[in-house]
Amino acid sequence: MARAKFKLLRFAIFAATLIVCGYILTRRSSTSTSHTAVDTNIEPLDVTKGTSGIPYEDDEDEDEEDDDFVPVVGAGTKDTTAKKNVASLPKTNPNPNPKPKSNGNGKTSAKEEPSFGGKEKATFVALARNSDLWEFADSIRQLEDRFNHRYHYDWVFLNDEEFSEEFKKVTTELVSGKTKYGLIPTEHWSFPPWIDIDKAAAVRQDMKERQIIYGDSISYRHMCRYESGFFFRHPLLDEYDWYWRVDPGINILCDINYDLFKYMKDNNKAYGFTITLPEYMATIPSLWDVTKEFVKENPQYVAEDNLMDWVSDDGGATYNGCHFWSNFEMG
């Protein structure tokens, strides 16, 4: 009986302690609240704004005029659909030179010649097909993010057929400079008149049967010929002194924090490339013999500080197969 009374007393003491603690905590909380200043003038958080205070794009506002929108070459009118579907590029270091207006065909109007400011007269050049659009979109985005959003160099796209409106719209939205679209002349994208068409077809068939890379591809041959001797003759490139070739599907793995075009000029560089590797000798069985014949007949074209020791191990008697890939090149 005594044990039961003791347990009951202990429980009563414990309950009283809890009540007192709860009362003390309640009093402190109410006192702290009564002394806390409340700013009733705080502006409600606007979920349509980012941390910079710039409104995000919203469907309800897409018909309103955007004061920050910069007309793009070849676009003619603002296209809010394309602007929403293509991620906007960084706007750091904006170009101090206003973009010249376009007459709609990719060429700058005569009244407003392009202003290069502190930049070099340079452009990216891309030989493209309409079917390459989304591979090119990825390449463009990488180059813009890694390099060109700082400098706003132009882009020139060349094709042996007319570019689609979709290609023009998407690529124009992605770049920070101007875009220009050119058609390659037929005579630059075909067999020259001195080529024996039947003999060429027979050679392609033989190479196909021997499973030589690009052995039977006509378009690949046209592309190599055009990139080697004709692209820089296109009228769209007349206003530029420098070019940077871009192919679909390339990857730029690090930021480029200096102007490569300016570096080339300041250091008296005429040409730049990144990859050298042995040639597929089966694809060029007669190249070196023809080259030596040309050099013999035209010695005035051979520079004194040439790279013969790089491409030949015996003073030019034979070709060692060393060559550079022009998929990335500047000049």
One of 120, 173, 227, 329 is an active-site residue; which one?
329
Q: For 207-236, what is the mean pLDDT?
A: 87
Q: For 258-278, what is the mean pLDDT?
A: 91
**Residue 329 annotated among the catalytic residues of the structure:** yes
Q: What is the pLDDT of residue 226?
A: 79
The whole model's pTM is what?
A: 0.63
Would you tell me which CATH number, out of the four given (3.40.50.1100, 3.90.550.10, 3.20.20.100, 3.40.50.1820), belongs to the domain 67-184+230-269? 3.90.550.10
Sole residue written with tokens 């004709």: 230
Q: How far is CA 242 from CA 43, 154, 261, in A?
A: 52, 11, 7
Q: What is the pLDDT of residue 13?
A: 66
Is the pLDDT assigned to residue 112 strictly greater than 50?
no
Is the pLDDT assigned to residue 34 strictly greater than 50?
no
- In this prediction, residue 221 has a pLDDT band, given cuts at 50, 70 and 90, of confident
pLDDT digits (tens, 9 = 90+) for 228-239: 888 888 999 999
pLDDT digits (tens, 9 = 90+) for 301-321: 999 889 899 999 999 999 999
Closest to 271 (Cα-Cα) out of 331, 192, 199: 331
Q: What is the pLDDT of residue 174?
A: 95
CB 156 within 8 A of CB 246: no
Is the pLDDT assigned to residue 260 strictly greater than 90?
yes
Distance CA 79, CA 169 (A): 8
Distance CA 234, CA 196 (A): 27
Sole residue written with tokens 């090119």: 136
In the chain, domain spans: 67-184+230-269, 275-325
Q: What is the pLDDT of residue 8?
A: 57
Distance of CA 184 to the CA centre of its chain: 22
Tell me the CB-side half-sphere exposure of residue 167, using CA atoms within 13 A.
21
Could you tell me which residue, 34 or 47, shows the higher pLDDT? 34
Q: For 117-136, what is the mean pLDDT?
A: 91
Could you tell me which residue, 88 or 220, shows the higher pLDDT? 220
- Max avg pLDDT among 134-138, 185-189, 219-223: 134-138
Q: How far is CA 319 from CA 257, 284, 299, in A?
A: 38, 11, 18
Could you tell me which residue, 160 or 216, shows the higher pLDDT? 160
Is the pLDDT assigned to residue 153 strictly greater than 60?
yes
Distance CA 121, CA 107 (A): 15
